[in-house]
């Protein structure tokens, strides 16, 4: 007979890994299964594993420590068990290398491999009655090979999908255009080194990518297209950083939609369209040095509204309007990298109504009058139809829970506890 799990987690990135750890450490006694598209051993953020890049979270805000500082699966214990604690503490760096954090995540995930099926891409989710011996409605989770699995509850931890703004949405199948999540594989497939590169966006990733491109391709000219006037430093005020505290999550959750908009506008520069001071200073100095050498290899084009992206034999023609002067310009690029962020849940442009992997059952759930999914404070998507089994959203709730839910590590382990408690309550 078909088996029915207590819970299936879709995705096994940091969010659902943190949940698996919480469920095990707190003896939830649940029959859990996680389905992950990537092959076993694929590093965290592999498309952006740039040499020298560091992480943006305090390393102790890891998979577990805020929930359980005595956990075996902390970053500090990872360093200890791998014989690098003292060496690491002696590093002349504020934040760990992304490479090392990815190794930490892989190490922690390795301890939970028995709960995970890697290389399993979920394509569809439905609701069935009585499947797998259950006496009520359960989720049917179908993968790309057509195989079905069943569970009494679902946790969607797929991360946010890339945001590909117009006009680039029409050219994404061109091998010379990629979102940053595909940066390294795209470079690896280029037939020859690019000579003109366009980096779209003004985020941390845009600056990291520009520095990386400059190092890899000493002959290339790189243009950064920014919507705002130029490149801005992140707001790292410790007062603003309290937006990544659980107290702010509660405050944000209770705010009206208008209040949420005002809070978003305040918190945005802590995470979006802004970069850390170290990479900004490095880029500025580099551009100055290029000028001393009589070159202009990197340009920051501010106030850009991109209206066209036309693939041709010589590259992609990018047409843009300078929003202050009104001047139009078309430049050719033989590589375009989009550092344009990710899509949140919501009704607006650049958002998605409900996570794509569960879009087939989206109408079973409730939405607020503005069109945002109604999500409980405990991350449970509120059903609109009776007979809808529990569905939790793990790492996808910035529009209901605020910036601490913007897919980052900041509150990951506390959210894992909340969702874990919710799953336990449902099971017992």
Ligand X SMILES: Cc1cc2nc3c(=O)[nH]c(=O)nc-3n(C[C@H](O)[C@H](O)[C@H](O)COP(=O)(O)OP(=O)(O)OC[C@H]3O[C@@H](n4cnc5c(N)ncnc54)[C@H](O)[C@@H]3O)c2cc1C
User: For 370-409, where are the E strands, in sequence order?
Assistant: 391-393
Please, what is the minimum distance in Å from the beta carbon of residue 39 to ligand X?
10
CA 44 to chain centroid, in Å, comes to 11
- Decide: is 37 part of the binding site for ligand X (CB under 6 A): yes
Please, what is the minimum distance in Å from the beta carbon of residue 321 to ligand X?
29
- Decide: is 103 part of the binding site for ligand X (CB under 6 A): no
Residue with smaller CB distance to ligand X, 320 or 357: 357
Please, what is the minimum distance in Å from the beta carbon of residue 346 to ligand X?
17
Question: What CA–CA distance (Å, rounded) separates 380 from 366?
Answer: 11
Residue with smaller CB distance to ligand X, 180 or 198: 180
Residue with smaller CB distance to ligand X, 197 or 357: 357
Q: Is 87 helix (H, G, I), strand (E, B) or coil?
A: helix
Residue with smaller CB distance to ligand X, 25 or 100: 100
Residues 124 to 163 in contact with ligand X, rule: CB under 6 A: 157-159
- Decide: is 357 part of the binding site for ligand X (CB under 6 A): yes
- Decide: is 186 part of the binding site for ligand X (CB under 6 A): no
Question: What CA–CA distance (Å, rounded) separates 138 from 141?
Answer: 10
Please, what is the minimum distance in Å from the beta carbon of residue 195 to ligand X?
25
> How many residues sit in the footprint of ligand X (CB under 6 A)?
28
Residue with smaller CB distance to ligand X, 9 or 315: 9
How crowded is residue 86: how many other Cβ atoms within 10 Å of its Cβ? 9
Of 49-57, 257-265, 267-275, 380-388, which part binds ligand X (CB under 6 A)?
49-57
Q: What is the 3-state secondary structure (H, E, C) of 322-347?
A: ECCCCCEEEEEECEEEECCCECEECC
- Decide: is 9 part of the binding site for ligand X (CB under 6 A): no
CA 18 to chain centroid, in Å, comes to 15
Closest CA to 59 of 412, 427, 415, 425: 412
Of 53-61, 245-253, 290-298, 376-384, which part binds ligand X (CB under 6 A)?
53-61
Question: What CA–CA distance (Å, rounded) separates 216 from 418?
Answer: 44
> DSSP letters of 110-124?
HTTGGGEE-S--EEE
Closest CA to 104 of 154, 63, 135, 47: 63
- Decide: is 409 part of the binding site for ligand X (CB under 6 A): yes
Of 31-39, 222-230, 266-274, 413-421, which part binds ligand X (CB under 6 A)?
31-39
Residue with smaller CB distance to ligand X, 408 or 413: 408
Residue with smaller CB distance to ligand X, 13 or 390: 13
Return the residue of 25, 36, 196, 344 that touches ligand X, per CB under 6 A. Answer: 36
**In what side-by-side order are the strands of the sheet with 177-179?**
177-179, 335-338, 196-200, 221-225, 298-301
Please, what is the minimum distance in Å from the beta carbon of residue 233 to ligand X?
17
Of 9-17, 66-74, 168-176, 419-427, which part binds ligand X (CB under 6 A)?
9-17
Cα torsion at 304, 339, 343, 328 (round to 10°)? 20
Determine which helix (DSSP H) or strand (DSSP E) holds 300, and give its type and residue range: strand 298-301
| C-beta separation of 283 from 231 below 8 A | yes
Contacts of 180 (CB under 8 A, 6+ apart): 47, 48, 162, 205, 209, 337, 338, 339
Write the interaction track for ligand X spanning residues 55-94; mark x where CB under 6 A is met and - where it is not.
xxx-------------------------------------
Contact positions toward ligand X, by CB under 6 A? 10-16, 35-38, 45, 48, 55-57, 121-122, 157-159, 205, 357, 395, 407-410
């Amino acid at each position: 007979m078909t088996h029915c799990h207590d819970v299936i987690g879709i995705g096994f990135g940091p969010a659902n890994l943190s949940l698996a750890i919480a469920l095990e450490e707190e003896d939830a006694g649940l029959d859990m299964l996680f389905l992950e598209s990537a092959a076993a051993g694929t590093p965290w953020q592999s498309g952006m594993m740039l040499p020298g890049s560091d992480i943006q979270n305090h390393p102790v805000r890891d998979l577990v420590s805020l929930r359980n500082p005595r956990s075996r699966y902390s970053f500090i214990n990872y360093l200890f068990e791998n014989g690098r604690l003292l060496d690491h503490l002696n590093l002349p760096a504020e934040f760990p290398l992304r490479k090392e954090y990815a190794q930490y995540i892989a190490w922690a995930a390795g301890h939970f491999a028995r709960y995970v099926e890697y290389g399993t891409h979920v394509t569809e989710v439905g609701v069935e009655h009585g499947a797998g011996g259950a006496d009520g409605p359960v989720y049917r989770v179908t993968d790309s090979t057509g195989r079905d699995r069943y569970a009494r509850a679902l946790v969607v931890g797929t991360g946010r999908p890339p945001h590909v703004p117009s006009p680039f949405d029409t050219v994404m199948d061109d091998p010379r255009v990629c979102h940053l999540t595909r940066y390294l594989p795209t470079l690896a497939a280029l037939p020859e080194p690019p000579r003109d590169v366009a980096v779209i966006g003004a985020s941390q990733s845009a600056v990291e990518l520009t520095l990386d491109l400059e190092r890899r391709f000493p002959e290339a000219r790189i243009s950064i297209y920014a919507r705002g006037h130029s490149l801005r430093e992140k707001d790292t005020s410790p007062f603003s950083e309290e937006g990544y505290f659980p107290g702010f999550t509660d405050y944000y959750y209770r705010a009206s939609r208008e209040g949420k908009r005002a809070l978003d506008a305040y918190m945005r520069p802590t995470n979006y369209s802004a970069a850390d001071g170290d990479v900004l200073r490095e880029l500025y100095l580099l551009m100055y040095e290029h000028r001393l050498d009589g070159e202009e290899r990197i340009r920051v084009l501010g106030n850009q509204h991109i209206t066209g992206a036309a693939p041709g034999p010589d590259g992609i023609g990018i047409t843009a309007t300078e929003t202050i002067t009104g001047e139009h310009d078309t430049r050719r690029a033989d590589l375009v990298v989009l550092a344009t962020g990710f899509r949140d849940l919501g009704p607006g442009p650049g958002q998605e109504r409900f996570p794509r992997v569960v879009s087939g059952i989206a109408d079973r759930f409730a939405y607020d009058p503005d069109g945002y999914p109604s999500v409980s404070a405990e991350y449970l998507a509120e059903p609109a139809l009776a007979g809808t089994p529990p569905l939790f959203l793990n790492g996808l709730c910035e529009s209901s829970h605020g910036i601490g839910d913007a897919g980052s590590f900041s509150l990951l382990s506390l959210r894992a506890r909340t969702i874990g408690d919710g799953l336990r309550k449902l099971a017992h």
